[in-house]
Amino acid sequence: MNTSGTSGRPGRAGGEGHGAPPAARGRLLAGRYRLVRELGRGGMGTVWRARDETLRREVAVKEVSVPFGLPEEDVTRLHARLEREARAAGRIEHPGVAEVFDVVRQDGRPWIVMELVRGITLQDVLEADGPLEPERAASIGAQVLSALRAAHGAGVLHRDVKPANVLLALDGRVVLTDFGSSLVEGGEELTDAGEVVGSPEYLAPERALEAEPGPASDLWALGVLLFASVEGRTPFRRETALATLGAAVDDALPAPGRAGPLRPVIEGLLRKHPDDRLSAAEAERLLRRVAGGSRARGGGAAAVPGAREVR
């Protein structure tokens, strides 16, 4: 599970996920959605494969995991965060964002019902196979950026773009997941002052300095994702989260050695000041140009060996 979201990672590439606990498997939510199998679990929540018995289709259902003894105020905040995720994703109409079908309440807590996307996370691919070729990374990055542009156009900042939240679907799509950390234009901030939202290795300098985030902050995170995809590591990772944030603010970007034609895009997205970064439109244009080299040779982002169902 990531730092502040609710998506789970069932395990390595090709795994079948966790088996549902006997008491949960078969449970019916809101008289309609029957839990079939657990797909992923983490500190913040669980994602299930479920059956919509009204429309007779497979769906994904996300619930919040509430630690025993958690103060009621924090429980309320966790529930609000899940509902915010549903509202944020529900505002975005794009094939790179899983469609939200419903939000139901059962036992006093919310459950999100959404499109079941079959595939594997980019994080699992990197851990199983190592760094990507620049052209494949560019193809994935262009599709993530297209989804981000749709989100930004709908007034939504993702705030936790990273490989664990990018799903390579069997149908060829690249899907941006986990809007649990997102900020919706005009919406309430659900974190305390000074609380870090997102993953430190992917946090933009302005966010590390607690400045107001904007679309350029998501573009920085995409730049880190691209760097990690071709180099096999993030550029500013240090021994502690605080040191990592400090490096993002103060340290020069290490020269990417494997990026090839992707290097100008990475460097353009990882400029310290948000106003100096590549625009989303220019970055997407450059990414698609780099990705075009892989299609000419028969490569691409769609190959997903050992994929499984996950959201």
Instruction: Work out the number of other CB atoms within 10 angstroms of the CB of residue 282.
Output: 12
- 10 Å Cβ neighbour count for 310? 27
For the sheet containing 308-309, what is the strand order?
Answer: 174-176, 166-169, 118-121, 308-309
- 3-state SS of 115-144 is ECCEEEEHHHHHHHHCCCCHHHHHHHHHHH
Record the tokens describing residue 101, joined without a space. 């079908």
Greatest pairwise CA separation for the chain in angstroms: 57
The phi and psi torsions of 297 (rounded to 5 degrees) equal -105, 5
Alpha carbons 126 and 108: distance in angstroms, whole number = 38
Annotate 203-237 with DSSP letters as a single string.
--HHHHTTPPP-HHHHHHHHHHHHHHHHHSS-TT-
Q: Strand 156-157 and strand 183-184: pairing?
A: antiparallel
Q: Is 102 exposed, middle or buried (0-12, 13-18, 19+ CB in 10 A)?
A: middle
List the catalytic residue out of 52, 124, 129, 160.
Answer: 160
Nearest 5 degrees, angle CA 151-CA 96-CA 109? 70
Q: How many residues does the chain have?
A: 311
Instruction: Tell the residue number behind the tokens 């006997």, with chain if given.
Output: 22
Strand 33-41 and strand 28-29: the pairing is: antiparallel
Do residues 92 and 150 lie in contact, with contact meaning Cβ atoms separated by under 8 Å? yes
Tell me if residue 160 is catalytic: yes
| Distance between CA atoms of residues 6 and 242, nearest Å | 23
Residues acting as catalytic residues: 160
